[in-house]
Amino acid sequence: MTMTTRKIFLLLLVLAPLRMAAAGKTCPGVPWLGAVAACRKASGTKFIYNLCIGRMREDGVDMSPSHKQQVTAYIILATEDAANSYDSTTLVASNQLDQNASLPGAVRDAYQGCLNDYSPAEDSLDRVAEALKSGCDFVGLADAYVSGMTSLENCRDRLLSLQQYKTPVYPMVLHDREKVSLAYMLAKLLGI
């Protein structure tokens, strides 16, 4: 996607926040779980568990234990949420680059670096979401999440090295890191 289509896409997301759980294909060997059970199984910490439950609620998932879905449905939600969050972060960084004339050079370089870090990370999350929606081949999935996280960490470190500047992007990157971690933890329920 070009930056412009991404912006339009993001606008549409803002205008249409009620996306329903996009169920993937029914795949053999993939567990059927209620949302709460899926969050419990996937989460190693209370923090991630709460993030997971909050994510499901926000997306309008039926939380009753009797409403079981294949876990791919939850993974798709969490992955798309992370991808949307990546989009918001890159949008803020590119707006700063375009519009903030008083951006110090070091910050400018870091933002540019972050955009380069984020671009392949966004692509790999988009690919993961597509693969989960369209098929049952989970090969390479773990690598895609891990490389998506590594790119974020590169960006985080760029921003961390700007010790004298507080940037609005830094907390967004930390937030993205949480979201992609949640998606990856849910994806591990596939045995990847």
Ligand X SMILES: *[C@@H]1O[C@H](CO)[C@@H](O)[C@H](O)[C@H]1NC(C)=O
Judge contact between 33 and 63, C-beta under 8 A: no
| Closer by beta carbon to ligand X, 110 or else 128 | 110
> Contact between 103 and ligand X (CB under 6 A)?
yes
Q: Is 100 in the site for ligand X (CB under 6 A)?
A: yes
Of 102, 105, 164, 191, the residue at the interface with ligand X (CB under 6 A) is 102
Q: Which of residues 12-51 bind ligand X (CB under 6 A)?
A: none
Residue 91 touching ligand X (CB under 6 A):
no
3-state DSSP call for residue 91? helix
- The residue (of 173 and 183) whose beta carbon lies closer to ligand X is 173
Q: Which of 167, 172, 181, 184 binds ligand X (CB under 6 A)?
A: 167
Question: Residue 95 Cβ, how far from ligand X at the closest point, in Å?
Answer: 8
Is residue 5 near ligand X by the rule CB under 6 A? Answer: no
Q: What is the amino acid identity at position 41?
A: K
How far apart CA 179 and CA 79 sit, in angstroms, is 8
Q: Pick from 9, 32, 47, 165: which binds ligand X (CB under 6 A)?
A: 165
Q: CB under 6 A: which stretch of 15-23, 32-40, 98-106, 128-136 binds ligand X?
A: 98-106
Closest to 21 in 3D by CA, of 61, 67, 70: 61
3-state secondary structure string across 19-70: CCCCCCCCCCCCCEECHHHHHHHHCCCHHHHHHHHHHHHHCCCCCCCCCCEE
Rounded Cα distance, 35 and 65, in Å: 7
Contacts with ligand X, residue ranges (CB under 6 A): 100, 102-103, 107, 165, 167
